[in-house]
Structure 1
Amino acid sequence: MNYIVIGKIINTHGIKGEVKLDPHTDDLKRYSDLNKIYIGDEKDPVEIENVRYHKNMVLLKLKEFNNINEVLFLKGEKIYIDEIDRVKLPDDKYFIYELIGCKVFDIEGKFVGDIKEILQNPSNDVYVIKDKEKEYLIPAVKEFIKEVNIIEKKVIIDTIEGMIE
């Protein structure tokens, strides 16, 4: 089974066993559609009893836990879902986990580096591309991103002068 990280438990909330989740998604309300998640590196399955939203955070009540003492150990753990439960994206849109690790080449075929991180900004995402010694920030807009091939883990970019030196 393949898993996708959709958030991280950052704290407890209240005394009845709720946890506060830092969501790793653009669609905050997508948690309402979930019945089961997997917690931590061991991917322990847990059923969701209730979902609430507060200040761009997700509050989850998990069925197995009923007080704060039972959820303290979950702090810092990542939350996963089955890959089959992921949302469907429109064409030319990609999940961050699909882009991380992609090899980046310029339009002449010269290797630039690997995508190591995606910075999410209000106007557009920015790909953080690293080679052995340098780091490049490439705006994720059609002007610069010419091709994305998730199957081959390859991205083709067209840069302007000074963007990559």
Structure 2
Amino acid sequence: MTEEEFFTIGQIVAPHGVRGDVRIYADTDFPERFLKMTYAYIDGMKYDVENARFHKRVVLMKFKGVDDRDGSERMVGKEIQVTREELMPLPKGRYYVFDIMGCAVFDTSGTRLGTITDVLKTGSNDVYAVTGEDGEEILLPVIPSVIVSVDIEAKKIVADPPEWADS
């Protein structure tokens, strides 16, 4: 049996009230998913969700078996996680950051540029930080004219770097 891989979608930041509810900061592009969840994983253990709702900028969630403030206080700082199968599907051409990290990047002639070590969120488009074997970093905007192809299975990205990215 293989070990299950978990992905964090939020963090418990505080108890809420005295009946075991917790406050969760969502760390996902799909916060509405919390309202439909029937269970979540915390420290690798499955917890059934009794109910969930939005309150200001947080999600309030109640787990079965956590029925008082003491129980909810023990959960503070824990991550809310899901399995890969429970991740929200992305539109074609969009990828999860954790799938992009570590991908080898090649230019259109097949020369290895390096490995993706960071994904920067700039507002208009993401930027891949690619670190070469010499430690030098180049930044590649994630736009169709620069990112030619992405193969998550092979962990390979082909890029056509802009002139200013040349060393």
Partner Cα separation in structure 2 for residue 114 and residue 47 of structure 1: 39
Q: Which letter does structure 2 place at the counterpart of 1:33?
A: K
Percentage identity across paired residues of the two chains: 31
Matched residue, 1:89: 90
- Bigger CA radius of gyration: 2
Aligned ranges 1:102-141 → 2 under 5 Å: 102-132=103-133, 133-141=135-143
Matched residue, 2:31: 28
CA deviations 1:23-74 (Å, max 9, x no partner) are: 232121012221111112xx11111112122344322222221223212232
Alignment partner of 2:51: what SS?
strand
- Residues 119/74 of structure 1: CA separation in 2 closer, same or farther (3 Å cut): farther
- Residues 110/84 of structure 1: CA separation in 2 closer, same or farther (3 Å cut): same
Q: Which letter does structure 1 place at the counterpart of 2:7?
A: I
1:18 and 2:21 equivalent?
yes
Question: What 5-or-longer segments of structure 2 have no aligned partner?
Answer: none
Offset at residue 105 of structure 1 (A): 1.7
Question: What 5-or-longer segments of structure 1 have no aligned partner?
Answer: none
What count of residue pairs does the alignment treat as equivalent?
163
Matched residue, 2:144: 142
Offset at residue 87 of structure 1 (A): 1.8
Matched residue, 2:164: 162
Partner Cα separation in structure 1 for residue 132 and residue 57 of structure 2: 34
Partner Cα separation in structure 1 for residue 11 and residue 41 of structure 2: 11
Alpha carbon RMSD of aligned pairs, Å?
Answer: 2.1
Aligned ranges 1:51-66 → 2 under 5 Å: 51-66=52-67
When normalised by structure 2's length, the TM-score is 0.83
Partner Cα separation in structure 1 for residue 140 and residue 110 of structure 2: 17
- Residues 49/145 of structure 1: CA separation in 2 closer, same or farther (3 Å cut): same
Matched residue, 1:151: 153
Offset at residue 102 of structure 1 (A): 1.2
Offset at residue 147 of structure 1 (A): 0.5
- Residues 53/88 of structure 1: CA separation in 2 closer, same or farther (3 Å cut): same
Paired residues of 1:15 and 1:67 also in contact (CA < 8 A): yes
